[in-house]
């Protein structure tokens, strides 16, 4: 297993709150480098099972030789379908480590990072037809504005979108470097990296339909969990965290609370185990800078 693929964030907290039963059945929504999965397997008996999802072809290189792990090379939005395929209706716990792996950021040719000159790709699933190249060269001003505003919380989203569209007579934007040069006019001089990180995040989320996939996945989690089984989810930006928080509070990603028709009492689907999200300590952030934005939320199914 490749050690440098991705350093698992809040590893011990994740394992602690999963409260693993030796003979249990668990789901790792984002296998990645296999760091969390490997630790889960240590706590399972020969009868335990771990289903691990990852749509990235590169993740397959990290699969351990262990028949207790069933790797599913697909997006976690299809969690129910694939678990049913294996005869699984409910599980003893679900773990999700959302966002992009260190490997995806560090592999320059994938186009995820502002640090490298690369083709505009950003696909987690390399078989997907939608790329960053297609988004930036075909979306209209309104589509681009909405994308940057909603997924990147970019302040000057409309100006940014206009600059991209106005540049099109000059030819297609092919690489990350070309893109950075095109939008230099609306990139803050002393906060360029912070700004570009937001812009790239927005494009990546759109390319991979991350919010739609997460909504679909989270919506299925309640019925998939056994009573008192934990949902352990780690997010890295406010958009993801809001969906997780809504689900725990109200049982749906929209955050709409339902009331019992007879008694008028708000229905509760999950019991939060932590009132506030768990965040990495200083030592972990110093060891792994990408842990700094992590927020871990834990709840059990009622």
**194-210 pLDDT per residue, tens:** 999 999 999 999 999 99
pLDDT interval class at 2 (50, 70, 90): very low
Domain endpoint, select from 158, 182, 208: 208
Specify whether 199 is located in the same domain as 277: no
Residue 247 lies in domain: 11-103+210-301
Percent of the chain having pLDDT more than 90? 83
Statement: residue 1 has pLDDT above 50? no
Q: Residue 258: its pLDDT value, please?
A: 87
Residue 66, token pair as written in the block = 């262990």
End-to-end CA distance of the chain: 37
* Count: domains in the chain: 2
Domain endpoint, select from 192, 208, 224: 208
CATH number of the domain enclosing 142: 1.10.150.170
3-state secondary structure of 39: helix
pLDDT interval class at 260 (50, 70, 90): confident
Nearest Cα to 98, choosing from 32, 152, 154?
Answer: 32
Specify whether 199 is located in the same domain as 222: no
Specify whether 159 is located in the same domain as 290: no
Domain membership flag for residue 74: yes
Specify whether 245 is located in the same domain as 281: yes
Helices (H), 139-187: 141-152, 157-166, 176-182
Q: What is the mean pLDDT of residues 289-297?
A: 92
pLDDT interval class at 188 (50, 70, 90): very high
CA dihedral 253, 223, 54, 256 (to 10 degrees): 0
Nearest Cα to 270, choosing from 225, 300, 233, 296?
Answer: 300
Domain endpoint, select from 164, 188, 208: 208
Specify whether 234 is located in the same domain as 256: yes
Specify whether 185 is located in the same domain as 237: no
Q: What is the mean pLDDT of the chain?
A: 93
Q: Residue 220: its pLDDT value, please?
A: 98
Specify whether 191 is located in the same domain as 237: no
Specify whether 198 is located in the same domain as 142: yes
Domain membership flag for residue 220: yes
The answer to pTM > 0.75 is yes
Q: What is the mean pLDDT of residues 268-293?
A: 92
Statement: residue 243 has pLDDT above 90? yes
d(CA 210, CA 189): 30
């Amino acid at each position: 297993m490749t050690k440098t693929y991705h350093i698992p964030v809040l590893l011990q907290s994740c394992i602690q709150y999963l409260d693993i039963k030796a003979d249990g059945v668990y789901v790792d929504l984002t296998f990645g480098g296999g760091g969390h999965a490997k630790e889960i397997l240590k706590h399972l008996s020969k009868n335990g099972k771990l289903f691990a999802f990852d749509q990235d072809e590169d993740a397959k290189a990290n699969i351990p030789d262990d028949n207790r792990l069933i790797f599913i090379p697909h997006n976690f939005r299809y969690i129910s379908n694939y678990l049913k395929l294996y005869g699984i209706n409910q599980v003893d716990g679900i773990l999700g480590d959302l966002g992009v792996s260190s490997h995806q950021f560090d592999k320059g040719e994938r186009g995820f990072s502002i640090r490298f000159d690369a083709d505009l790709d950003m696909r987690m699933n390399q078989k997907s037809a939608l790329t960053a190249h297609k988004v930036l060269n075909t979306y209209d001003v309104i589509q681009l504005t909405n994308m940057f505003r909603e997924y990147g919380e970019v302040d000057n989203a409309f100006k940014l979108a206009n600059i991209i569209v106005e540049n099109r007579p000059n030819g297609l934007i092919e690489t990350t470097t070309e893109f950075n040069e095109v939008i230099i006019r609306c990139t803050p001089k002393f906060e360029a990296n912070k700004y570009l990180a937001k812009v790239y995040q927005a494009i990546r989320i759109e390319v991979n339909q991350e919010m739609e996939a997460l909504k679909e996945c989270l919506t299925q989690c309640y019925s998939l969990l056994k009573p008192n089984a934990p949902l352990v989810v780690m997010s890295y930006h406010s958009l993801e965290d809001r969906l997780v928080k809504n689900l725990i509070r109200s049982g749906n990603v929209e955050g709409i609370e339902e009331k019992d028709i007879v008694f008028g009492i708000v229905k509760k689907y999950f019991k939060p185990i932590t009132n506030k999200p768990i965040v990495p300590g200083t030592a972990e952030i110093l060891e792994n800078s990408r842990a700094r934005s992590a927020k871990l939320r834990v709840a059990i199914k009622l």
